[in-house]
Amino acid sequence: MAESYEFTVYRGTFIQLPRGDSSRKPELVRNCGTLWVSSTDGRIKGFDWQARDDATFQELMSRNGWVDVDAATNGNGVNGATVNVKVVIASEDRNEFFFPGFIDTHIHAPQFPNVGLFGSSTLLDWLETYTFPVESGFGSKSDPKNQDKNPKDAPPSALRIYDQVVARTLSHGTTCASYFATVHVPATNALAALCHSRGQRAFIGRTCMDNPDFCPEYYRDQSADDSISATRSTIEYIHTLDPKGTLVKPIVTPRFVPTCTRPALEGLGKLVAEYNPPLHIQTHISENTNEVALVKDLFPECPSYASVYDTYNLLTSRTILAHAVHLTADERALVRKRDAKISHCPASNAALGSGIAPIRVMLDEGITVGLGTDVSGGYSPSILEAARQACLSSRLLGHTTAHAECKPVNGYDKTEGREKLSVAEALYLATRGGAAVVDMADEIGGFEEGMIWDAQLIELGGVSEQGECPLDVVSNGNGSLVKPGPVGNVDLFGAETWEEKMQKWVWSGDDRNTKAVWVSGRLVHQRV
């Protein structure tokens, strides 16, 4: 995208997680200084962690011949020696900092209207009661074979919901999402188009589900062939929309084993391999114990749930497996061997009573894990909320029967309390982990030179000043109740270390603290 400036120069505090061995508990890293991003490709071209104070910063600007387009000198004309730049500052007084954008590795866009609605159901009855009815509304009865491709033929209500889910997730700092859509081609294509125009990085999956035994008559692919051809249709549309996959990519999406016939699974495995590089894949695995038992019944020839996907060439290094709450040690070894990725969805796993996935064990075994909101099994479109719930669930893991039985593979020994995820670990999953899950560990999730600027500006707010003695102020009964200073629910009292501020963000923060969001260097959300 052409801008009137060559670089955006970000100045202030930058916090991120280091890349590294997932078997080590990560720590947050903080730098103060200046980082610049090219307007041409949205990538980080350099940084200078010495350029902190005004003098050093101005020296950096001069050295590079940079001229601030918004400064008073704007319009002085660009000669050969100067380069226009836009300067964005994270205010120290307001406790602002730049942080990598969040990556939601598992979200069902059409289920957004059902956020918060699940009663006391568990997975299989929830699908029938809440999910299939809402998803079925994203198509047209006049196109049962899904041959239409035009996004504008999607129902207006579908467009409205998809538009809102993209807007909402961006406002929560989600710069990249791996979406399940519905079976319908026009609406799926519309979701891709909306992400593309709003500027959210996305993987778009048309949901494949052709098994009449487990999909309702009113909502399914009519045959395995239909499932493959409709999927191909959305892939072609997305490849036309974004030929280089700069922002939006297709992802092959068998819903989960019970909804797919053997021919469909086989066909999808072949479809993936037709492309070079092979297509990405996303599905669900071992979310719920009844589901695990059902898969065992349906595929007696396969030794495990994971092996079903493996049999059909769907367990690859570009596969995202959502949930993985009840994987056996053998399955985890297989997942590791294939380098398939796990999307941990703790809010959903609690809400639907699925259980608690042993994330630290998987990480220690070398499995790649990211976070997913799993809207609307999950009740929130916020990855910050998912990070919080990942911490909370992991603290309850020690009380579960699964934890007692969990036998780690690869010689790793469980250590007392090690299963508890720290704030830094949860934020690792939300950024670096998610980047690796969507196969973009070299591109997003951190601030190395050459990486794409998918980032958010977080504002925690200032420390409220000590004013009059509160015993005097409120005695008139008209005190204004929340002091100026805090943004949202984060309260800072001035004694916090920067690490403690980060903890307060994760535990008390929300979208009010997300002041601005960029994807590929483009500003895509700003809090109003």
Tell me, residue by residue from 380 to 419, as one string, x for binding to a second copy by CB under 8 A and - for no binding.
xxx------x-xxx-xx-xxxxx-x------------x--
Element (H, E) at 342: strand 341-344
Q: Verify binding: residue 474, a second copy, rule CB under 8 A.
A: yes
- The three-state secondary structure class of 208 is strand
81 or 404: CB nearest a second copy:
404
Query: Closest distance between a second copy and the C-beta of residue 400, in Å?
Result: 5
Taking the C-alpha atoms of residue 83 and residue 86, their distance in angstroms, rounded to an integer, is: 10
d(CA 384, CA 173): 9
Site mask, a second copy, residues 362-381, x = CB under 8 A?
-----------------xxx
Residues 21 to 60: which contact a second copy by CB under 8 A?
none
Q: How far is the CB of 39 from a second copy (least distance, A)?
A: 14
Q: Provide the token pair at 342.
A: 């796990």
Q: Please, which of residues 150-209 interact with a second copy by CB under 8 A?
A: 151-152, 156-157, 159-164, 167-168, 170-171, 190, 193-194, 197-199
Q: Which is nearer to a second copy, 163 or 442 (CB)?
A: 163
Q: Which is nearer to a second copy, 319 or 376 (CB)?
A: 376
Question: Coil, strand, or helix at residue 241?
Answer: helix
Stretch near a second copy under the rule CB under 8 A, chosen from 36-44, 107-115, 275-283, 450-458: 107-115
Q: Which is nearer to a second copy, 171 or 175 (CB)?
A: 171
Q: Are strands 455-459 and 514-519 parallel, antiparallel or unpaired?
A: antiparallel
- Taking the least distance from each CB to a second copy, the nearer of 108 and 341 is 108
Residues numbered 74-103 forming contacts with a second copy, rule: CB under 8 A: none
Q: How far is CA 289 from CA 298, 304, 407, in A?
A: 14, 13, 18
Which of 30, 73, 116, 448 lies at the binding interface for a second copy (CB under 8 A)?
116
Cβ at position 112, least distance to a second copy in Å: 7
Q: How far is the CB of 80 from a second copy (least distance, A)?
A: 31
Cα 486 → chain centroid: 27
Is residue 133 part of the contact set for a second copy (CB under 8 A)? no
Q: How far is the CB of 62 from a second copy (least distance, A)?
A: 33
Give residue 239's identity as a one-letter amino acid code. Answer: H
What span, in angstroms and rounded, lies between the C-alpha atoms of 301 and 284? 20
Nearest partner of 291 among 303, 311, 305, 308, judged by Cα: 305
The yes or no reply on residue 464 touching a second copy (CB under 8 A) is yes
**Using CB under 8 A, which of 352, 387, 436, 455 touches a second copy?**
352
Count the neighbouring beta carbons within 10 Å of the beta carbon of residue 78.
15
Of residues 84, 123, 100, the one with CA closest to residue 14: 100
User: If binding means CB under 8 A, how many residues of this protein chain bind a second copy?
Assistant: 85
Which three-class secondary structure string do you get for 448-500?
CCCCECCEEEEECECCCCCCCCHHHHHHHCCCCCCCCCECCCCCCCCCCCHHH
Counting contacts by CB under 8 A, is residue 332 touching a second copy?
no
Structure tokens, 219: 């909502």
Of 71 and 473, the one with the shorter C-beta distance to a second copy is 473
Q: Distance (Å, rounded) from C-alpha 429 to C-alpha 427?
A: 5
